[in-house]
Structure 1
Amino acid sequence: MPDQDTSDIADIEADIHAHLAEIAEIDAVAVRVYQLRVAHPTDLVAQLAERAGLQVAEVARAERHLARLGLLQPSPGGGWVAVNPESAAESLLAPVEQDILERRITMAATREQLHALSGDYLEARGMRSAKGSIEIVKDLGNIRSVIDDLARTCASSIEVLSPGGGQNEEAMRAALPLDLDVLGRGVRLRMLLQHSARGHRATAQYVETIVAAGAEVRCTGVLPSRMLIYDRHCAVLPVDPEHTGVGVALIRDTSVMGFLGRLFAHYWRTAEDFLADPECDEAAPPEEVGGELRGIERDVLLLMAAGKTNEAIALQLGISRRSVSRLVGRLMDRLGATNRFQAGARAARLGWLASVPPA
């Protein structure tokens, strides 16, 4: 099963790279022909060539290439009709997105089947030493008691992944005294939220309070699961990420803890300050074009490369369309691109699309 999954994912990645390679071939002639076809939809090829100062063969070749990319479609009356670039991107990437969707459905079904073995697995693990065990805690009252105990006894660090938008207000009220207590004891508290949480007043107030007490809070576009890590020795994960009240798993296995620590570090490294103004226009200077993207710029680029419209990006990240338009423009400037296709191709060559795939 793992070998087959790896092969299928590799095929999907190969399709994506093939699309990007084709997009990368858009040259100045194709861009010019596309612009003229938008402005003069009824022109014959010869007329378009005269307007562009090009050979008829050059225009015809450019139009065929633009048609393969979905930027031109045949007109019922003959010739070509220009298509909106965002609509073309949706059509171009739709087969790849369908493959990804089907793979995710298969993975979800496989995960459910494997979860059915959790009881037998945990029973066997219970025979090992306590240090390498995984313990399941059920009932909301028991879960809170365990988390309270871990918070009161931790000595060096607490790391938190908290997906979703605005956080549960009752949970934040219960967590605040514990957070202030651990910060007062000199424990380093680092928390990761999603961009959409910025628009939730109670969450923003909670973040301001703990940051003032010394916590570090960042945000990113997508997080995989809720997670708490205490002193890098014990992690708390939901048994069911969709229904966190069902129960949690306390993980102390050394190898698993190493992986979870690296997972948190990856998301932390690419996130941005939660309290930073997402509307501010702090564009990176041109000489930093080869540098690694961080935070919301990275998330916008990944969603843009997936063919999402500005409106869809704004909805997923929980920011305004005005902010998305600014960020898209900033990315185009940094990449020296004149259109979204060129931006995607150049970002791929720089390795900016090889981090975390958009959800």
Structure 2
Amino acid sequence: MMKAIEHYLVLGRVPLMILRPNILLVVVVLGYCLGFASSASAALTLKAERQHHVNASTFNVADGLSANSLQDMEFDQFSRLWIATQDGLNMLDANQVIAFGPTHMERGLKGSYIHELLFDNKRGLWVLSNHGIERLDTVDFSVVDVSPELPQAQDFKSLIQWDNQHIAVLADNQLVLIDTKNFSVVKAPDSLGPVNNQIEINGRVLLQKENGFSWVEPKTFALTPAYPAPDKRRVISYTVDSNHFLWAVSLGGNIHRCDEHQCESVNLVTKDGQVASAGRMVAHKDQLFIVSSEGLFVVSADLSDVRVLTTDNQKNLFIKRLRFLRLFLSDNGDILIGAMDGLYHFPSSYDAISSYSNFDSMFGE
């Protein structure tokens, strides 16, 4: 009798016994989805066990720069530091600062607001500015203006070395190649589609497209998918570490670490438990350097060593406009940070000393 009653009990108008298998299926699927979402949202926490207090050396207009607002920097084959500013290009060596631009000592360059710098393998410095793209010979300081050859575009960005004979730039998200020998310009095939950003890593080019990251073959432009898109928000900085993981920072300062299949969130935490928001990042040898709101994090490739650099004499460096800070590592491991108020220098020996007194010694004096 009870079995008969149970068989005809209804939920709404549907017999309960008919619903039981479907309810079980829904519960199993829902549980699986919730478990997957839980594991996907689990964040990797990197806590700095060591904190270094370093007195950052500074260099700005008081020391001869044409402007305090730094956009990019590069060392040349003579160990001279070239600095892009919002008012001219500056060359620093052990004895002097030389400014290049339409209103400065060396007037060859037509652009004054310098966005990016890139050295080719023929002693040429490529300068991306408000004027367009120019090439400066770093020996005789002669200038070639390739801007008239470029396609009409509102936005030029992401200068990289493409291969031994070409550099590449994005013109309104379309890839354009420039021959470093005869200065001819070639557009990539339309089949490549829009490119959001591009970086060169150990002779390979990694493109950021709307649906993820792909390696590109320089001659055929064939794409090999490499990493998924980590965040729907715009990625402002990305790199690949020595273990082939992609690290990306989104516009909100969030970090993701990706393999070829999936991405995980990363939290940077100081020794006293402060969670940091991230800005620019650079992979250098077996370490990852990340500008953050709590200082400069230095993370080993195997994640076993995490430390953070803070500066006692320049406390405002890591507080504002993190995504506008430019991070550069010299060959000997010195750390250079370009900010809106000048150049900051951390020595490679930061783990052994607490201060650094003389900026000029970096240039051999």
TM-score for both structures, normalised by structure 1: 0.25
Structure with greater helix share of residues: 1
Structure with greater strand share of residues: 2
Structure number with the bigger relative contact order (C-alpha 8 A, sep ≥ 6) is: 2
